[in-house]
Amino acid sequence: MQRYFKHVSVTLVLLLTLTGCETSIKSTEQAELTFTNLVPLRLNVASIEVQQTYQPPLTKPNVDHLFKTPPVQVMTNWAKYRFRANGGTDRALVIIKNASVKQVILKKDKSFTGIFTQQQSRRYDMNAEIIVKIIGPGGVQKAVASAIAKRSKTIREDANLNQRDQIWFTMEERLMDDLNKEIEAKSRRYLGGWLN
C-alpha cells in the first residue's frame, strides 16, 4: 500500500511539472492588424478588384506562411478597406505583387568571446509591393500607381517562439504603415483624376 502511494505521489509530481512546462510555452494572444483608423481612398470607379499574384512558396527560406496572419492576407485586408469605389465607368484593379518574408541564417562569432555571447542568429527580410491600376471600358489601362515597402530585423539565438512572433507582428505593422503612406502619395500623384 505504501509503495502504491509513493508511485501516485511521483506521478502527480511529474504531471504537475509537465503541466508547468506546458503553460510556460503557450503562445501569447496577439492583436490583429486592423485599418479602421485610416480614411478610405475613394476612387471614381464602378468596382474595385483585389488580385493576389504573389504565391507563397511555402518552403525555406520563405517563412511568411508561418505567420499567424501571413503578410499577403494582411495586405488583402488592407486593400479591401483602403480603396472604395465611388461610382463611374472605369474599374480599379489592386494587385498584391509581393508579400514575402525570407529568413537569412547569420554567421556566428565562434571566437572565445562569441561563445559566451547571445548572438543575432537570424534576419527576417520582409517585402511588400502593390500596384493599383485604373482600367477603362474595353480593358484600356488609363492610370497606374505602385508602392514598395521593405523591413528587416535580426533576432537573438535565445529568442523563443513568442518573442519571434512579436517581432514578426511589429514588422508587419511597420511595413504596412510604410506601404500605406507610399501608396497614398503615389495615388494622389498618379490617380488624382479618379480620387474623390
Strands 83-85 and 47-52: unpaired
Percentage of residues in the chain with pLDDT exceeding 70?
A: 80
pTM comes to 0.80
- b/e map 89-114, b = 16+ CB within 10 Å: ebbbbbbbbbbbbbeeeeeeeeeeee
What's the distance, CA 37 to chain centroid?
18
Q: CA 18, CA 143: separation in Å to the nearest integer?
A: 61
Domains of the chain from N-terminus onward: 36-194 (3.30.160)
Contact status, residue 64 vs residue 54, Cβ threshold 8 Å = no
List pLDDT tens digits, range 112-141.
Answer: 665 666 667 999 999 999 999 999 999 999
With bands split at pLDDT 50, 70 and 90, how would you rate the model's confidence at 30?
Answer: low
Q: CA 147, CA 184: separation in Å to the nearest integer?
A: 9
List pLDDT tens digits, range 50-92.
Answer: 999 999 999 999 999 999 999 999 999 999 999 999 999 999 9
Backbone angles phi, psi at 126, to 5 degrees: -110, 130
20 has a pLDDT exceeding 80: no
Q: CA 159, CA 82: separation in Å to the nearest integer?
A: 35
For residue 43, how many other CB atoms are within 10 A of its CB? 26
